């Protein structure tokens, strides 16, 4: 890190910033023009490099607006910088700040392209190739090896789906021979409930299979509402919604209950005592893909409120 400018150096900059360029002031104090420019910017001292007269601005705008200008004519830009008595970098910076040019503009004149190429070659000859590989080329033998490897990779890429399908079929045959089923893991877990506290099964009083006590109790609650005429009807898992153009995560969703209100409107009720990531994704996608369908989530607080109010009056309520 360079040392800070002394009070004497700052005094020299202050005495000369109106009449000299950054580079000229840098020579006086033994610093770079960037150091001088940063100091002037910090103290608000506008030098000849920073201040632009109305005449200079008009010349700059006219040059960039001339017919047939490519916006990146390097040779003509050097002439413009010389005419204005400024560095080319200063002219470029000012043009960019005014929106007259941009960094991704193209070069159309062959003369300019040749000049840029020659300047780059001179820089490489003076400082060396930036990647340290100047003049290096692949031999014919190396090119042949690279070609063969590339062709082999394309063969693998094209045949990979077929290999995966053959592997899947072999796995199915092996499972059938050993276990008598293609999916032994699902068969082993068929009678096991993933949520251990849930009590799934058929409830005789409501006549349907449900996946938990909460769903069974909510069905009894809906029967009570139907008897009172507050709803017209209800069904358990009557429909599966599909999420189109989905590549990851859940692509289908089957709500717990379909409710038809007394006014004929349709609602979907989801009983959720535990909201896992998969359930959250399904509900978000349902709202996105089916915005016209009304979804009501019966979470833990809502279920407990129903239980507190009706568990003593509804027959066979499960605690």
Domains of the chain: 7-103+113-127 (no CATH), 201-310 (3.40.1350)
Q: How confident is the model at residue 105, as a pLDDT? A: 65
Give residues with Cβ within 8 angstroms of 261, minimum separation 6: 230, 231, 232, 267
241 DSSP β-pair partners: 253
* Mean pLDDT in consecutive groups of 10 residues from the start of the chain, 319 residues: 75 85 86 84 69 81 71 67 78 81 68 79 80 75 91 82 81 78 63 60 91 94 95 95 86 94 95 87 94 95 94 91
Q: How confident is the model at residue 265, as a pLDDT? A: 94
Q: Tokens standing for 260?
A: 């038809």
Distance CA 50, CA 22 (A): 10
Q: Tokens standing for 176?
A: 């059938």
Q: C-alpha distances in angstroms, 249 versus 160, 246, 273, 281, 297?
A: 23, 8, 21, 8, 20
Residues 54/27, Cβ–Cβ less than 8 Å: no
Residues 281/249, Cβ–Cβ less than 8 Å: yes
Query: Token pair 């490897």 is at which residue?
Result: 149
Q: How confident is the model at residue 255, as a pLDDT? A: 95
| DSSP characters over the chain | -PPPPPHHHHHHHHHHTTTS-HHHHHHHHT--HHHHHHHHHHHT---TTT---HHHHHHHHHHHTSTT--S--HHHHHHHHHHHTS-HHHHHHHHHHTTS--TT-----HHHHHHHHHHHHHHHHHH--TTS-TT----HHHHHHHHHHHHHHHHHHHHHHHHHHHHHHHHHHHHHHHHSSS-HHHHHTTT--SSTT---EEETTTTEEESSHHHHHHHHHHHHHHHHTSEEEEEES---EE-TT--SS--EE--SEEEEETTS-EEEEEE-SS--HHHHHHHHHHHHH-TTSEEEEE-HHHHHHHHHHHTTTSTT---
Q: How confident is the model at residue 1, as a pLDDT? A: 39
Residues 254/241, Cβ–Cβ less than 8 Å: yes
Residues 198/213, Cβ–Cβ less than 8 Å: yes
Q: Which of 40, 35, 39 is nearest to 2 (CA)?
A: 35
């Amino acid at each position: 890190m360079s040392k800070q400018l002394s009070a004497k150096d700052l005094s020299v900059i202050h005495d000369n910033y109106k009449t000299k360029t950054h580079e000229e002031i840098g020579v006086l104090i033994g610093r770079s023009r960037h150091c001088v420019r940063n100091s002037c910017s910090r103290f608000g001292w506008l030098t000849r490099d920073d201040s632009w007269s109305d005449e200079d601005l008009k010349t700059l705008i006219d040059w960039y607006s001339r017919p047939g200008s490519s916006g990146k004519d390097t040779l003509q830009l050097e002439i413009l910088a010389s005419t204005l008595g400024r560095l080319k970098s200063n002219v470029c910076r000012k043009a960019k700040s005014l929106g007259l040019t941009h960094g991704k503009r193209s070069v159309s004149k062959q003369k300019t392209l040749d000049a840029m190429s020659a300047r780059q070659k001179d820089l490489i000859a003076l400082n060396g190739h930036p990647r340290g590989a100047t003049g290096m080329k692949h031999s014919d033998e190396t090119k042949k090896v690279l070609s063969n490897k590339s062709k082999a990779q394309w063969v693998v890429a094209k045949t990979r789906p077929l290999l995966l399908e053959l592997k899947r079929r072999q796995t199915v045959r092996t499972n059938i021979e050993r276990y008598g089923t293609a999916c032994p893991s699902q068969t082993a877990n068929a009678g096991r409930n993933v949520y251990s506290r849930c009590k799934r099964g058929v409830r005789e009083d409501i006549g349907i299979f449900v996946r938990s006590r909460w769903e069974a109790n909510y069905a009894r609650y809906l029967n009570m509402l139907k008897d009172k005429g507050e709803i017209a009807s209800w069904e358990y898992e009557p429909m599966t919604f599909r999420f189109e153009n989905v590549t990851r995560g859940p692509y289908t969703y089957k709500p717990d209950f379909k409710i038809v209100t007394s006014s004929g409107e349709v609602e979907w009720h989801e009983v959720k005592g535990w909201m896992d990531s998969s359930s959250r994704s399904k509900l978000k996608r349902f709202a996105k893909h089916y915005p016209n369908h009304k979804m009501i989530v019966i979470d833990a607080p809502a279920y407990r409120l129903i239980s507190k109010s009706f568990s003593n009056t509804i027959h066979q309520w499960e605690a």
